[in-house]
Amino acid sequence: QKEVEQNSGPLSVPEGAIASLNCTYSDRGSQSFFWYRQYSGKSPELIMFIYSNGDKEDGRFTAQLNKASQYVSLLIRDSQPSDSATYLCAVNHNSGNTPLVFGKGTRLSVIA
């Protein structure tokens, strides 16, 4: 059973701080890793994906992947109140057409 674990939160950070969201996964063969943001009442939207060990930066967002430790994280620099949302981690084994496995999400609250 492939599992993806996230702390449900809420994670509260002050405006301008760095928010750190973590995700662990059980399947060592996982190849693709995704972070989605979901505002209340809306559908998830992709923030970024990462395939290789190390860091990947996109604006204020940095994804970090450590396959040996089976965790992936998302850092949000200079957090803004508009970043307040639920962040979903998703993992894919990349073996043919197997579906993504989603974590239950971490709720982030950025306090002005």
Partner 1 sequence: SQTIHQWPATLVQPVGSPLSLECTVEGTSNPNLYWYRQAAGRGLQLLFYSVGIGQISSEVPQNLSASRPQDRQFILSSKKLLLSDSGFYLCAWDRGRGDTQYFGPGTRLTVL
Please report whether residue 49 would count as binding partner 1 according to CB under 8 A. Answer: yes
Please report whether residue 94 would count as binding partner 1 according to CB under 8 A. Answer: yes
Please report whether residue 32 would count as binding partner 1 according to CB under 8 A. Answer: yes
DSSP-derived secondary structure for 31-56: -EEEEEEE-TTS--EEEEEE-SSEEE
Tell me how many residues contact partner 1 (CB under 8 A): 24
Listed ranges 16-24, 57-65, 68-76, 88-96: which one lies at the site for partner 1 (CB under 8 A): 88-96
Contact between 32 and 92 (Cβ < 8 Å): yes
Closer residue to partner 1 (CB): 15 or 45: 45
Please report whether residue 26 would count as binding partner 1 according to CB under 8 A. Answer: no
Name the pairing type of β-strands 54-58 and 4-5: unpaired
Query: Three-state SS for 72?
Result: strand
Rounded CA gap, 82 and 59, in Å? 15
Closer residue to partner 1 (CB): 14 or 59: 59
The Cβ-side half-sphere exposure at 28, using a 13 Å CA radius, reads 2
Please report whether residue 87 would count as binding partner 1 according to CB under 8 A. Answer: no
List residues near partner 1 by CB under 8 A.
31-32, 34, 41-46, 49, 51, 88, 90, 92-94, 96-97, 99-100, 102-105
